[in-house]
Amino acid sequence: MADDAPRTWTVDDHLRDADPAHVELWHRVVALVEACGPVTVLAHQTTVTFAGERRGFAGARPTRHGVDGFLDMQRPLGPDRRIRRASPYTKRLFVHQFRVTSADDLDDAFEGWVREAYAVGAGAHLR
The string of pLDDT tens digits covering residues 80-100 is: 999 999 999 899 999 999 999
Q: Please give the mean pLDDT across all residues of the chain.
A: 94
pLDDT grade for 6, boundaries at 50, 70 and 90: confident
What pLDDT was estimated at residue 2? 54
What is the mean pLDDT of the segment spanning 43-56?
96
pLDDT grade for 1, boundaries at 50, 70 and 90: very low
More confident residue, 101 or 4: 101
Report the candidate in 32, 41, 34 with the shortest Cα–Cα distance to residue 10: 41
What pLDDT was estimated at residue 3? 64
What pLDDT was estimated at residue 111? 98
**DSSP states of 60-125 as a string?**
EEE-SSSEEEEEEESS-----TTEEEEEESSSS-EEEEEEE-SGGGSSHHHHHHHHHHHHHHTTGG
Could you give the CA distance from residue 102 to residue 22 in angstroms, rounded to a whole number?
8
pTM: 0.92
pLDDT of 5 higher than 80: no
What is the mean pLDDT of the segment spanning 66-77?
97
Could you give the CA distance from residue 29 to residue 50 in angstroms, rounded to a whole number?
11
Dihedral pair phi/psi, residue 39, rounded to 5°: -140, 155
